[in-house]
Structures are given as C-alpha cells and as structure tokens.
Chains A and B, each alone.
Chain A
Amino acid sequence: MTSLFPRAPAWILLGLLLTASTIQAEEAPQQPAPEQPAPEQPAPAQLAPKQPVSPLTSLYPLWENTAHLLSHQDMYLGTSNVEFGILDVAQLGTHPLSFIFRTPNIHGKVRLLSRERLAVAAHAELLVFLPGASEAFTSSNYISRLDTRDIVLTVIPVGATATYQLTPWLTLHGTTTVMGMFDDGPYRNRLVPGMTAVAEFMALQHHTFRAHAGEVGFWNHDFNLLGASYCFRYKWFEAQVGYFVRFMIEGRQGNPMLALGAYL
C-alpha cells in the first residue's frame, strides 16, 4: 500500500485555506460591519429553517472540525458529541460515548474570526485513554492499533479550523491540527501534524453531502483519509452518516460512521 497523495495534499489543503482567506480579505472592505460579533455566520440552531445547514461538529474524530459555534447557553446532545455554547464566542464539549470506552475527554472551541462567509475557530481537546481502552469495544470484531491495556495514554490535539462559504451551495472546512501524545512509556512523547479538508455540498433544504480528505504525519507519514458523508437536519434533529477509509502503508481500513444528535 502506498500513500494516497504523499506530499502534495498538505499544500493543496493549505492552499484551500489560504485561498479562502484571500477571497475573504478581498471582500472584507465591502462588509458593512465586519467587526461585530453578530451572527453573520449564524450558529446552526439559529439558521432559518429554509436554509440548508452545515453541521456543528465534524463526523470524523480528532482530525476534523468546523468553525461553527453554538449560541450562548444552547446545547447540542448527540451520540458523538455533547456541546454547550458559551457567550457566543466559545463552546465546551465532550464525546459522551468515549467515557463508556474508558476514555474521559473534554474539548473546547473558541471563535477567532467571524465574517460574512468566513469563520475561523481554534480548538483543543484532552483525551485520556485509560488502561483497557484499546480493548473496550462492544464487539471484539473491532481492534485498536493502539494497545493501552496497561497504559495511560494522554492525547491532546490542538488546531484551528476555517469554514468558508464558497458559494451558497458549497462550504469548505479546513482543519490544521497538531496532536500531542504523552505517556511515561512504552509510547514515546511526540507531536504529529495533520490537515483535513471537507467540501460540503448543500443539496436541499435538509440535506448536505460532504467529501472528506486528510493527511496525518506529512514528512513522517501515518495515514491519509478519504470519506463521504451525508447529513440530514430537520428542526432540532440531526443525523450524519458516512464512510471513511484510512490509507496506511500496511493497508486500508474502512470505517462507517454514524452520529445522531439534537439541538436543545
């Protein structure tokens, strides 16, 4: 197995983000009140129901995100994420099911920039894989390539995401992440960069389709990610379903994903 796109993708993804920023920079002077934190890029729960809406959270964990934030005191309760909006500029959340899998975790997101078509957010996450987390699947048909049977592994991904509405029917999400892994041994302490991009096609009022791509590791390549997903939103209900493939040098891993959630 070879890397799907060994070196170029990082620059392609970065280019997407820079292009988005450049376009935004050109448009910025035309905006009437660019400095206002007003919801020009409104939170999903606030969007008019006739508009197709972009999901609040990413479907693929750790390496993907969006720049969307919940409004103050709004809550999203989902299978993959529980999120709480704070002061319209920040959001605190967790992966609830991961606790069952012996992985306490918490994450936060802060808005850095909000323009008519561009939003940028910084985010960080803390996950602690307790002993046994690697064997905690409900079915032994699944395996973790990590072995944390006797190990506490702390993982801290920190990154930034830009969400840019290129056209009314196409939104791009680009995420850059540096993942820190900390352990007293046998795992080494290390930092690994990664970058993902999601192209989101707003097909109909309640439906969006997304294409996902990513690279993790770059010069010390670990895996590429390709995926496709679909999101259905109706009033307070949201369902996301997708299929992802991780391309490692040793082979491919297919990974279906499903997330259901409610905006409360």
Chain B
Amino acid sequence: MRRLLPALFLLGLAAPACDWDHYAMMNSIPAEGDPSRNPVVRVYLGLDGLSYSTVERARERGAFAGWNLARFIPMFPATSDASWSRVLHTAPFAGLEYGHFDPVQDRVFNKAVGGMLVHLVPPLEEIPFTVPAYARTPAYYKAFDYHASSYLDALWSYDRPAYGYYKGLDNLFVALAGRSHVQSTFSAYVLETDVIGHIRSEDDMVDALVALSERIELFKRQHPERTFVFTFFGDHGIDGVAKPLDKVVDLRDQLEVAGVTSVESFEEADKVDGPAAIPILHTRVTYVAIHAREHWVSEVARRASTCEAADLVFARGEPREGSPEGLAWVGVWREGSLLASFGYEAATDSYWLPSDADWAALDLPITFAPGASSGVFSDETLFALSVERTYPDFFFRARTAFEPISVEFPPDIVVSYRHPFMSVGYQAPISSANAVGTAGSHGAMDRLGSMGALLSEERELPSAVRSDNLLEFFPALVEHMKRRNVEFFPGAQGAELDYGALP
C-alpha cells in the first residue's frame, strides 16, 4: 500500500501518453475486409490553401490527368477556420479565426500571439473537462477521418512544412488503406499545404501537388482490389505574392493616422471622443475585421479606406434613397470615398444596384437599361459576371461577410488589403521570426488569394463553384459526415446557384 499511492500518481503522469498505446495497438492489427462489399471507395481531401493557379501549374506537369477542375470560390474574408465551417456546414466558429471579439461579453479573445498559439494546442475531445469555448477544437475536424498524426502535429507543420506534409501524407495513406477495408467513403484534411503557401513558395506548392498526384497513382496500383475515386477541395487560395517586411503592417497604426482610435471593447470605445473601433489582428492574412458601434460604422469604414494597406473596405451599409425597403445593404469604400453600395432582397434572391456607383473601378462590367437609376440582378447573373474578374463572386461574398454564417460574431467592417500588404497578426519577440509566413497569404477579396480549386474524379463540374454549395455536389460526403455524427448548420440564405442556368 505504501507504494500504491506514488504508483498511482506516476500512472496519472503518463496519462497524456495513453493515446500512443492505443495508436500502436489500433494500427498494428492487419484486419482485412471483403472488397466485394465496397468495391468503390470515394476519397475526399480538404487541402488547406489549395489554389486554382497551383493546381493548373501541377496539371501542366502531368498531375491529376483527366480529373475535372473547377474554380472554387470561398467566403470573404477567405480564412481557414470560418471557411471550412462554411464549406462543410458545420457549427460556426466564434469569430473568423481563434482571435475574435465577442460583443456579448464585450471582450477580445486570443489576441495576436494567443490566437496563433491556440492553433498549436492539440484537440483533446475526449478529456473529461471542459475546454473554454474560445479555445475549442473547430467542429469541422469531425467531418474528416484524418486530420493530423500526433499531438504536436501543428507545431511541426509550421516549423517544417514540407517534412510535415510528406509525413502527413504517409499517415493519410496508411489510414486510407486501413479504413478502405470497410468504408466506402474516406475524408481527410491536410493543413500543411496552407503552411507551404505561407512560408515557402508557389513552386514548392506545385511540387507538393505533383508529389500527391504521384502518390495517388502509386496507391491505386498498390490496391487494385478496389477502385479509389478522389476529390479535392480547398478553403481559399494563396496569393503567391511575397510580402516585404515593411509591408507587413499593424493596421492599428494606420487607423490611428486616419483618426480612428483602436480599442478592445465597446466600453472603451464609448469613452473615446470620436470614431473608435475594435480591430482584430488575426494571423498573417490580408484582411482585418473590425467591430464598431453602429453609429460609427460608416465613418470608421471611410477612414479605414484611407489607410495605405487598404484596397477596399466593406461595411454594413445604409439604404440608398429611392431604393425598395427591406433590403440588406453593404457599402464598399476606397481611398475615403464610398465606391458603391448595394442591397440584397432575400425574398427574391436578387440584388438592387444603383447605376451611379463606380462599378468599373471594381472591375465589374455591370450594364443598366438606358436612363435607369438602378437595376435588379439575380444571384446567378452576378456570380457569372464577377467570377472571372478581379473580385470573384463579389456581391454574395461581400454580403455574407456580415452575416452569422459559420461565424457566430461577424464583424461590422472588413478591410481587404492591397498587394503586397499583409497584416502582421503577431509580433514575435525574435525579429527574424517576423519574416515567417510572408511568402504568400489570403483573406483579401481579390482573386489571387480567393481562387480556390475543386478537383474531382467523381463527377463533372461547372467551371466555377461557390464553396457554400460543395455538399450539393457530393452526397456521399454528406452521408459520410452524417455517419461521423457531424451536426449540420444551415448555410447562407440564397447561397444556392442554378448552375445549369449559368451562362
């Protein structure tokens, strides 16, 4: 008995390692299934930061020959956690990223480095204590059979992304081989592709995709007893624009010059004499979300658009004179001016656009009836009109940026950066660490960081797909997610598109 208590104490110390034992056991049993029960296995891979341009370049090198490819347009701002939640219709994230503002508690959570560090904490879903909501594992992880291969996977992935990627692929294919003995559908998430895009280069990303294509072909040859049908999809693109260190900026500094006081709560904001706002610095992305009191939203948006880093600033807008009632309005600002505003009518899923806005400045070739002061356009029309332009799916993405879809507390204003600016996100105490993650980024409205890819052997695809609609195209993935007990959440109103009617 004298030894029993210290022994039990020591056993408790080893508890975090208990997954290792189970991992070894579960992966050392060579069980086999009958191929006649599931002769076809559908494989869905979510590749973080899978951009259309890198897939095209990989295909030029012979990768994914014969697969169907579509532009895959993510939400705005195109940022991983919120975007995956939107794509897969899983439980909303509190904010766009771990770093977010909760207007109910009037408090910013996971500020700067904190937001980054939370990414590195391994999910511990089965531990019998409650993790604070602001640090909880994203619900979309549950949609995937595989998403990591060790406790500190994220840490290694950020430290050595190429090594992490190939190590991850090893684990992914081992899991696929094992699971395909009984599963007809397999889903996996690969984080490292995003890290390669941020830290390495587009060339490295193309190499990674070519290697993945070769691995898939090898895997198919190794497992002729079943037919494997692959589909890839990404949550956003990667702009591939290297960011000089002097362009990696803290927007709060520029807001101060523009006359906007940065605060961390509405309570603080109310004490400020003049416009004040709560900017959320996320990770190293090309947007900044801002929360502000309703009466300051337009003024903060106008002033924010004068910031050197800003390309466009989006905000909840105000109704135009002469417009129908009951529309949801969005305003778009550039260099201190309201460039355009538009209203959305949910009942008809259509947009009311004034003709006096500078649509050409937004590279949107909108035409109105001669003499008309406004026009009403269907969602399909505007999707088709904008998808190949500088700001793809401009209207739907701008509108839904302010709706609580996949994000519990959406911002009031979003600053979309111009190239080659990037939000600093965090300041590392070691100056050399501040150069990390500057090879490319995403989040801004423009096409470079927004154009994701959807690639499939399973079915034909339209030339462009709104990411909100992915599940409509792949019912087997939906069934698989149901089997994995994923809870589905409704998507954006009017997100559906009649792809057959698109020009």
- Asked if A pairs with B, the answer is yes
Residues of A at the B interface (CB closer than 8 Å) are 1, 60-63, 77-80, 95, 97-98, 100-101, 103, 127, 129, 133-134, 136-147, 149, 151, 153, 155, 179, 181, 183, 185-188, 190, 192, 216-217, 222-223, 225, 236-237, 244, 246, 248-262, 264
Name the residue of chain B whose CB is nearest to the CB of A140: B123
CA distance A62 to B22 in the complex (A): 11
Residues of B within 8 A of A251 (CB): 169-174
Report which of B18, B25, B150 forms a contact with A138, defined as CB distance below 8 A: B18
The answer to the question of B243 belonging to the interface, with a C-beta cut-off of 8 Å to chain A, is: no
Please list 29 pairs of residues, one from A and one from B, whose beta carbons are closer than 8 Å in the complex, sorted by A's number.
Answer: A60-B24, A61-B24, A77-B8, A77-B11, A79-B21, A95-B25, A98-B21, A103-B22, A140-B137, A141-B150, A142-B149, A144-B27, A144-B175, A145-B175, A146-B31, A147-B179, A149-B483, A179-B29, A179-B30, A186-B37, A190-B32, A192-B30, A250-B176, A254-B149, A255-B20, A255-B27, A258-B14, A262-B6, A264-B7
Known contacts being A62-B25, A144-B23, is A138 close to B222, with CB within 8 Å? no
Known contacts being A153-B31, A251-B169, is A142 close to B19, with CB within 8 Å? yes
CA distance A86 to B263 in the complex (A): 70
| Contact of B20 with A144 in the complex, beta carbons under 8 Å | no
CA distance A257 to B19 in the complex (A): 9
0/1 interface trace, chain B 174-185, chain A, CB 8 Å (1 if under): 111111011100
Shortest beta-carbon distance from A7 to chain B in Å: 17
Report which of B125, B176, B183 forms a contact with A139, defined as CB distance below 8 A: B125
Known contacts being A77-B7, A186-B181, A253-B170, is A138 close to B127, with CB within 8 Å? yes
Name the residue of chain B whose CB is nearest to the CB of A81: B21
| Contact of A143 with B24 in the complex, beta carbons under 8 Å | no
Name the residue of chain B whose CB is nearest to the CB of A241: B17
Residues of A within 8 A of B123 (CB): 139-141
Known contacts being A61-B28, A185-B34, is A138 close to B181, with CB within 8 Å? no
| Contact of B124 with A145 in the complex, beta carbons under 8 Å | no
Residues of B within 8 A of A253 (CB): 27, 149, 170-171, 174
Name the residue of chain B whose CB is nearest to the CB of A263: B3
Residues of B within 8 A of A98 (CB): 21-22, 25
Shortest beta-carbon distance from B416 to chain A in Å: 33
User: Among B139-147, B369-377, B433-441, B491-499, which stretch is in contact with chain A?
Assistant: B139-147
| Contact of B3 with A257 in the complex, beta carbons under 8 Å | no
CA distance A98 to B142 in the complex (A): 23
Known contacts being A250-B170, A255-B24, is A141 close to B182, with CB within 8 Å? no
Report which of B29, B150, B179, B483 forms a contact with A142, defined as CB distance below 8 A: B150
* Nearest 8 A/B pairs, CB to CB: A145-B178, A251-B170, A144-B26, A262-B7, A222-B30, A250-B173, A141-B148, A258-B17
Report which of A80, A143, A261 forms a contact with B21, defined as CB distance below 8 A: A80
| Contact of A258 with B126 in the complex, beta carbons under 8 Å | no
The answer to the question of B10 belonging to the interface, with a C-beta cut-off of 8 Å to chain A, is: yes
Residues of B within 8 A of A103 (CB): 22, 25
| Contact of B3 with A63 in the complex, beta carbons under 8 Å | no
| Contact of A260 with B4 in the complex, beta carbons under 8 Å | no
| Contact of A255 with B174 in the complex, beta carbons under 8 Å | no
Known contacts being A141-B149, A248-B177, is A61 close to B21, with CB within 8 Å? yes
- Centre residue among A100, A134, A141 by max chain B CB count within 10 A: A141
Name the residue of chain A whose CB is nearest to the CB of B37: A186
| Contact of A264 with B3 in the complex, beta carbons under 8 Å | yes
Report which of A78, A134, A137 forms a contact with B11, defined as CB distance below 8 A: A78
Residues of B within 8 A of A95 (CB): 21, 25
Residues of A within 8 A of B32 (CB): 187-188, 190
| Contact of A146 with B26 in the complex, beta carbons under 8 Å | yes
Report which of A140, A143, A252 forms a contact with B175, defined as CB distance below 8 A: A143
Shortest beta-carbon distance from A194 to chain B in Å: 8
The answer to the question of B122 belonging to the interface, with a C-beta cut-off of 8 Å to chain A, is: yes
| Contact of B10 with A237 in the complex, beta carbons under 8 Å | yes
Name the residue of chain A whose CB is nearest to the CB of B149: A141
- Centre residue among B26, B33, B171 by max chain A CB count within 10 A: B26
Name the residue of chain A whose CB is nearest to the CB of B126: A138
Residues of A within 8 A of B359 (CB): none
The answer to the question of B266 belonging to the interface, with a C-beta cut-off of 8 Å to chain A, is: no
| Contact of B18 with A244 in the complex, beta carbons under 8 Å | no
CA distance A140 to B147 in the complex (A): 8
User: B123-139: which residues lie under 8 A (CB-CB) from chain A?
Assistant: 123-127, 137
| Contact of B170 with A138 in the complex, beta carbons under 8 Å | no
Shortest beta-carbon distance from A136 to chain B in Å: 7
Shortest beta-carbon distance from A89 to chain B in Å: 25
| Contact of A79 with B18 in the complex, beta carbons under 8 Å | yes
CA distance A139 to B141 in the complex (A): 11
Name the residue of chain A whose CB is nearest to the CB of B6: A262
Residues of B within 8 A of A101 (CB): 18, 22
Known contacts being A145-B26, A257-B21, A262-B6, is A79 close to B11, with CB within 8 Å? yes
Name the residue of chain A whose CB is nearest to the CB of B127: A138
Name the residue of chain A whose CB is nearest to the CB of B137: A140
| Contact of B18 with A141 in the complex, beta carbons under 8 Å | no
Residues of B within 8 A of A155 (CB): 29
Report which of B23, B173, B176, B177 forms a contact with A137, defined as CB distance below 8 A: B23
Q: Apart from A129-B26, A186-B33, A258-B20, list 12 A-B contacts with CB within 8 A.
A: A79-B18, A95-B25, A100-B18, A138-B124, A141-B19, A141-B148, A151-B182, A190-B32, A192-B30, A244-B24, A248-B174, A257-B17
CA distance A258 to B19 in the complex (A): 10
CA distance A143 to B34 in the complex (A): 22
- Centre residue among A225, A237, A253, A261 by max chain B CB count within 10 A: A253
Shortest beta-carbon distance from B156 to chain A in Å: 11
Residues of A within 8 A of B127 (CB): 138
Residues of A within 8 A of B6 (CB): 262
CA distance A248 to B149 in the complex (A): 15
Known contacts being A80-B21, A98-B21, A252-B170, is A145 close to B14, with CB within 8 Å? no
CA distance A255 to B137 in the complex (A): 23
Shortest beta-carbon distance from B484 to chain A in Å: 8
Name the residue of chain A whose CB is nearest to the CB of B170: A251
The answer to the question of B67 belonging to the interface, with a C-beta cut-off of 8 Å to chain A, is: no
| Contact of B31 with A136 in the complex, beta carbons under 8 Å | no
Report which of A63, A151, A260 forms a contact with B28, defined as CB distance below 8 A: A63
0/1 interface trace, chain B 105-129, chain A, CB 8 Å (1 if under): 0000000000000000011111100
Residues of A within 8 A of B176 (CB): 250
